[in-house]
Structure 1
């Protein structure tokens, strides 16, 4: 069971010449899901998401597996979980759901960095607890 499922609108411009969501647009859908899941204004999980902040969260790695073409729909549901937590990084798992089927499975590795030095910053205990709460099952 995913920790959080969010609805992300599909834009007309996300479609390619074949009439389905372009593979590059899928990464944009994942980004929107990540922002909704981790920076909810009522309970943000991570540091402020804004230009000029001293700590930023950046994508270090992304893997996407396309299982089914996504035609134009008003929105897709995206299940978001935290699959692994490291020292300064964590892995987010995504499933884009289409009519009850998984159309796309993906992961992104995110890293907290100090903007002044561009070096990784270790996750603090509070951040770890908030990330763990988004895990599909208890993490060791």
Structure 2
């Protein structure tokens, strides 16, 4: 299927003293986009387990240009790679007028009751496989 596209609204409170979106808020915006894929879209397709426990094991962000509030929203293109039995990577390309950042998060399904990581279910793996792509942008595979 390819990449999933989410649009996230910018808030005035996302700005820092320099007039652009703060780096920590950018990570929050990427999280909101990721929730649209892993929780909302997955739920629409009947895949509910990820919304019950999923943790970020690693996040890497490369900034390419400042994100200004005037853009009003951030478009985030996401794809899945390195799909393993108990983890996967979400790649992001976030843009407004131009590419703002590229990023990746290593995601681990988590059993909140047991307090430990768990394996992906077959249904979750099938859903995530829909969003696999060879390359998004800037050499991310």
TM range (shorter): 0.7 to 0.9
Residue of structure 2 in register with 1:134 after alignment: 131
Partner Cα separation in structure 1 for residue 62 and residue 48 of structure 2: 26
Question: In the alignment, is residue 38 of structure 1 matched against residue 38 of structure 2?
Answer: yes
Q: Structure 1's 6 and 44: CA in aligned 2 closer, same or farther, altered over 3 A?
A: farther
Query: 2:120: which partner in 1?
Result: 123
Decide whether aligned partners of structure 1 residues 25 and 130 sit closer, same or farther in structure 2, where only a CA change above 3 A counts. same
- Taking only aligned residues, the RMSD between alpha carbons, in angstroms, comes to 1.8
Provide the C-alpha distance between the structure 1 equivalents of 2:100 and 2:95, rounded to a whole number of angstroms.
6
Written as runs of structure 1 = structure 2, the 5 A alignment for 1:1-140 is: 2-40=2-40, 41-43=43-45, 45=47, 47=49, 49=51, 53=52, 56-72=53-69, 73-99=71-97, 101-137=98-134
- The structure carrying a bigger strand percent of its residues is 1
Unaligned runs of 5+ in 2: 135-141
**Secondary structure of the residue that 2:49 maps to in structure 1?**
coil
Q: What are structure 1's unaligned runs of at least 5 residues? A: none
**TM-score when normalising by structure 1:** 0.85
Give 3-state SS (helix, strand or coil) of 1:32's partner.
helix
2:139 is matched with none
Q: Which has the higher helix share?
A: 2
4+ long deviations beyond 6 Å: none
8 A contact 1:2–1:79 mirrored in 2 = no
